[in-house]
Each structure stands twice: as C-alpha cells, then as structure tokens.
Amino acid sequence: MERKRLRISWFGVALIILGLALLLDRFHILRVDFSQIFWALVMMFGIMKVVGGFSGNIRGRIFWGTVLFLFGLFFLLRSIDRIEIHAHMLPPAAFLIFGIAFFMMFLNDARDWHFIIPAVLLIGVGGAFTLTEFGYLSRWEVWEAVRLYWPVALILLGLVLIMRRRMRVQSGQTGPQT
C-alpha cells in the first residue's frame, strides 16, 4: 500500500500567520506593521523555494528563491525603524542580491563554474557602489571604472559560452544547435 504524502497549503499557513499578527496588533499585544509581515512572508517563500531548489536540483528555484529572500530581507530591514536603510541603497543592493543568487546556483553544483563569473562581477559592482554610499570610495571614480571596463563583462561572457560548449562537446553532451 502506497502512503500519500501530506501536502501543506503554504498560502494557508501565510494567511494564518498574517491573521494572528493582525489580531495581536488589534489587542495591542504586539505592534506589527503590515509591511513587516509582508516582507517576512516574502522571505519565508523565498527560503522555501531555495530549499526546494537545492533538494530537487532546480536552478531556477534556487536563483529566484534567493532573490526573493534577499529582497524581502532588504525591505524588512528597511521597514524596521531600528536600522536606517535609505531607498538609494536599492541599486547597490540589487547588484549584490543578483550576484549572491548566481553564487547560490554555483554552490548547488560546482560543475556549473560559469555562474561564478556573473556572481563575482555583480557582487564586485554592488560592493563598490555600497562602499560609495558609505563614503569609502568616490562615486564618480566607481562610475568611471564601470563606464570604462564594462566590456570586460562581455569578453568574460563570451569566454564562458565558448568554454561551456567545448566542455559539452568533449563530454559527449550535445545541446541544441544555435
């Protein structure tokens, strides 16, 4: 006899958590802002996608789950009054978030080494722009470096595509012809 796997409605769980938080707010037991609840739920959904992606070896879930989790964390920290994060920090944070998402896909399978290149580029650019926001680097010098050296990203991307195709041919895996 085959056992049926119990499936939980995560949307139902999210509604229960939302309802409990709003009820506790109504009775002045816990002060909760709706944006804090929303971004915490986005973080939970993202981490569930990441875990599912790692367990099923699904790159898309790992990537977008990481993006959802980290954007949820960014906006949750921004909505909490104890930590001061301004809106102009969003572009540097976006570079960092997408770079970390590419790195997470590399962590899933180290044979996917080509994900390291966009990870390093995005984390480097995001880190440089973050350092400009905190006054450690000059904003104009960073913009000038990006303006001058952005073709390096195209060169690296081309090398990755060539190396990836060459590795497929050598291992006997032929992909779709383009």
Q: Is 21 within the bounds of a domain?
A: no
Q: Is 96 within the bounds of a domain?
A: yes
Query: What's the mean pLDDT when you consider all of the chain?
Result: 83
pTM tops 0.75, yes or no: no
Number of domains in the chain: 1
Show Cβ contacts of residue 171 under 8 Å, excluding neighbours closer than 6 positions. none
The predicted-structure confidence for 61-105, as pLDDT tens digits, reads as follows 999 999 999 999 999 888 887 777 777 888 899 999 999 999 999
Cβ proximity of 126 and 93 under 8 Å? yes
Q: Is 27 within the bounds of a domain?
A: no
Quote the domain boundaries for residue 74: 34-171
Residue range 102-124: mean pLDDT, rounded: 88
